[in-house]
Amino acid sequence: MIIRILFTAFILTATLSVTSAQSVSDKLQKNRDYTGATAHKDSYKAIYMIDVKDPYVINKTLRNIGNALNDPRLKGKLTIELVAFSDGVAAFLKNSPYESQLKALIEKGVIVAQCANTLKEKHMSRDQIFDFVGLVPSGNGELILRQAEGWAVIKP
């Protein structure tokens, strides 16, 4: 009798373990099958910020914007703005290596803007940045206004 109970308990425990392992495996498999969110809207908007002078970050940001524009889910539906402030002004300096990439983004419809407040704080003039760059009162204000309009705020 005792043996039977122990045996039953063993079987039950083993069954539960298998079920649990199965359930774990199911969750991992389900996650592997994940293919991303679906685009249900007609238009999407995102504002990217650059606030450091690190070329690694600046290049990553420019590449990120290109990738977002090319995402098959967003293709033709996406408006992007790029705003630089603090040391991120480095991306727009006339001697910086990003001119052609920035121009190409503007040709694709991306808004490219510099924080006017940063220029003031750094005692710089608009002449020191690329002629084709727009000016916003403050980069932070721009992020806040855009987020309030439903834009995604992304810091690469």
Which positions touch a second copy (CB under 8 A)? 24, 27-29, 31-39, 41, 44-46, 51, 60, 63-65, 67-68, 70-74, 78, 85-86, 103, 106-107, 111-113, 115, 117, 121, 131-156
Q: Considering beta carbons, is residue 5 or 28 the nearer one to a second copy?
A: 28
Phi and psi, residue 124, nearest 5°: -110, 155
The nearest distance, CB 10 to a second copy, in angstroms, is 26
Residue the block writes with tokens 């995102």: 46
Distance, CA of 118 to CA of 136 (rounded, Å): 10
Q: How far is the CB of 131 from a second copy (least distance, A)?
A: 6
Smaller CB separation from a second copy, 38 or 95: 38
Question: For residues 76 and 69, what is the distance between their CA atoms, to the nearest angstrom?
Answer: 8
Count other C-beta atoms under 10 Å from residue 57's C-beta. 17
